[in-house]
Structure 1
Amino acid sequence: MSQPLIGRVRESATLKFLVRRLLHTVVVLFGVLVLVFTLIHLVPGDPVRIALGTRYTQEAYDALRAASGLDRPLLEQFFSYIGHALTGDLGVSFRNGAPVTEVLLGRIPATVSLAAVGLIIALLISIPAGTFSALREGTFGDGVVRVFSQFGVSIPDFWMGMMLITLFSSILGWLPSSGYVAFGDDPGEWFRRVLTPGLTVGLVAGSIMTRYIRGAVLEVAGMSYVRTARSKGLAPRVVTGVHIARNAFIPVLTIAGIQMATMLGGVLVVEVVFAWPGLGRLVYDAVSSRDYPVVQGAVLLIAIAFLAVNLIVDALYALVDPRIRLS
């Protein structure tokens, strides 16, 4: 079979693979819409009455029920919710009457900045630590890395956050303990404020990723082609960089994608500890105040983030390693 024909076959297989993954994403997203709508309506209590609280009057109650569509039959509410969600209309907040879409968009920059800093820190920790540990399996250095990674996986996020606040804010006085400043307003202050929560997220995620990277490198290092490369007298740096690192990259993509999706979904405890105005903190506040439209919208946005990251990772699989069987 000629090389151009092989290339066309691979391109066709890649396209079919991506189309299947996209259709799968659409189906899952529809399922998420159904699940979110159902769960919200199964919660006991009248959300409108709870949302109004001390502001309750019959006129305000009737107006809010009509504005949110809760006065219509359940099936009609469902199809109305699906139709509006597809156009980006997620209703209005029970707390302040603001469009849910605007509320969510206002929280995305804080969450994305925290997730980006956390992922960068996690990668800077996990790639060298996991590779070092795998290439020195059974040594003292390997044991140290494994102990610290297990420690990072085991400790709660809130405890890590409080310890970092104590160290960098209370003892050293280098960084503020909480609060958020937009990058566009003051990049320097943004960095000072994002560093401590970013470290909290990054240290925990980095510990998880270190263990996966160590396992991936160990698996690749035991392959026959790596042993052959070593037997030919290639320099250890060449063997590691060319033969091991490149082929261990696929599992790294998987765990990095999962961690990024988790961070985009909002690290709830971290955002609460640092008063960080992201999606996780928004969900916490919305659940506390029974602001169901915001809860629905936030859960839907978090699900979209997970699905989008998984779709991107699947696409990168096909681009990074054409040998993967696309099925």
Structure 2
Amino acid sequence: MTVLRSPLVRFIVIRLAYTVAVLLGVMVAVFFLIQIVPGDPVRIALGTRYTPESYDALRSASGMDQPLMSQLASYVGNAFTGDLGVSFRNSEPVTTMLFDRLPATITLALAAIVVALVIAVPLGFTAALREGRWADNVIRVISQFGISVPDFWMGILLIGLFSTALGWLPSAGFESFAESPVGWLQHLVLPAITVGLVTGAIMTRYVRSSVLEVVNAPYITTAESKGLNRKRIMLDHVGRNALVPVLTISGIQFAALLGGVIVVEVVFAWPGLGLLVYDSVAARDYPVLQGAILLIAVIFLLVNLVVDILYAAIDPRIRLS
């Protein structure tokens, strides 16, 4: 077991165990939360198609006629094999529905992170390097405004300006990149900017704090006292060291966006996981709702795991903590 003596390997093993434990906890919590929601999902799903025979058949097919703990054991066991059941609405496998919608949500989250970084990095550096001056104060006020504004309201404002008033961009919908790259980009711009503006406001504060911490570090003072070029100090010392925690925050924000763009996807009719969750709640399609929450949790945990491992590989102090 020589491999396990490595601090980095031990760190990875511990994080993997933590990830699996959290995932099991999420699965159990989601299962029981769904159980306490008022109403009979099978009866609601059948609607006007209800008959005693169809009701009993759907309950049996979904396993809801079994004891509660048996349902839980089956749910956990099937989930680890990729079987998340079938939709009450259209009898389609939940796994298929989720992975059909996942690319759209990942595309929107990636585009939003790019927008956020384009906003946060220059503004955060500018605010930190001009601490206490008017530029710093203005940027902090703008970032506070961005944090306070609901993303759906921001989306409505952008639709009103760029779609209704100017007619430059479509207000909603989606086009496949394979069918029309230009149409795909036009439909992506507004939702990506909407999410990116809010996320960028949050990340601007992280960038500012990170840069301030590095700028005030003793080794920066030493570099300046040796007469090193200020541009070189900013690039070689401040930039590299300040952006390490920013990359960590970017990964966490990306994972959070995958489960946090529900309202934006509804506003822009973007066919991702968020819109699927919204429709599932409205239709009481609990298998799809359970599956979507579980998938978002898995992605969030995996992104956090990768970020932790990369951070530990870069900074030895993390793996030894």
Give the TM-score, by structure 2 length: 0.96
Q: Which of the numbers 125, 143, 156 marks the counterpart of 1:149?
A: 143
Match for 2:247 among 245, 253, 269? Answer: 253
- Residues 1:262 and 2:256 aligned together: yes
Q: How far off its partner does 1:10 sit?
A: 11
Which of the residues 265, 268, 273 maps onto 1:271?
265
Report how far residue 320 of structure 1 moved.
2.4
* 8 A Cα contact 2:94 2:291, kept in partner: yes
1:152-191 alignment runs, 5 A limit: 152-191=146-185
The one-letter code matched in structure 2 to 1:271 is E
User: Quick check: 1:10–1:322 contact (8 Å CA) kept in 2?
Assistant: no
SS of the equivalent of 2:240 reads coil
In structure 1, which of residues 99, 107, 114 is the aligned counterpart of residue 101 of structure 2?
107
From 126, 145, 150, the equivalent of 1:132 is 126
Query: What TM-score do you get using the length of structure 1 for normalisation?
Result: 0.95
Q: Letter of the 1:163 partner, please give it.
A: L
Q: 1: CA distance between counterparts of 2:53 and 2:244?
A: 59
Conserved? CA contact 2:173–2:187, under 8 Å:
yes
Q: Distance in 2 between matches of 1:266 and 1:279?
A: 10
CA contact (8 A) 1:271 1:280 kept: yes
- Distance in 2, Cα, partners of 1:191 & 1:323: 42
How far has the Cα of 1:325 moved from its partner?
4.3
Cross-structure match for 1:192: 186
Q: 1:212 touches 1:252 (CA, 8 Å); kept in 2?
A: yes
Q: Residue 91 of structure 1 aligns with which residue?
A: 85
Q: Any idea what SS the aligned residue of 1:247 has?
A: helix
Q: Is the 8 A contact 2:3 2:9 kept in 1?
A: no
Structure 2, gaps ≥5 residues long: none
**2:248/2:311 contact within 8 Å kept:** no
Residue in structure 1 matched with residue 201 of structure 2 by the alignment = 207
**Does 2:288 align with 1:298?**
no
Alignment of 1:55-94 (within 5 A): 55-94=49-88
Residue 323 of structure 1 and its aligned partner are, at CA, apart by 4.4
Are residues 218 and 10 of structure 1, via their aligned partners in 2, closer, same or farther at CA, if it must alter by over 3 Å?
farther
Deviation of 1:184 after TM superposition, in Å, equals 2.3
Change (3 A) 1:66 1:10: closer
- Deviations 1:232-251, CA, capped at 9 Å, x for gaps: 11111111111112221232
Identity of aligned residues (%): 61
Q: What's the offset of the Cα at 1:266?
A: 4.2
Q: Tell me, yes or no, if structure 1 residue 36 matches structure 2 residue 60.
A: no
Structure 2 residue matching 1:84: 3-state secondary structure: helix
SS in 1 for 2:220: helix
Paired AA for residue 56 in structure 1: Y
Cα distance in 1 between the residues matched to 2:149 and 2:101: 27
Which amino acid in the other structure matches residue 314 of structure 2?
V
* 8 Å CA contact retained: 1:266, 1:279: no
Shift of 1:317: 0.3
For residue 45 of structure 1, the aligned residue among 39, 43, 47 is: 39
Further displaced range: 260-269 or 273-282: 260-269
C-alpha displacement of 1:298: 0.4
Q: In structure 1, the residue corresponding to 2:177 is in which secondary structure?
A: coil
Please say if residues 130 and 211 of structure 1, whose CA atoms lie closer than 8 Å, have aligned partners that are also in contact: yes
Distance in 1 between the 2:208 and 2:51 partners? 61
8 Å CA contact 2:85–2:93 kept in 1: the answer is yes
Could you tell me how far apart the structure 2 residues matched to 1:182 and 1:264 are? 19
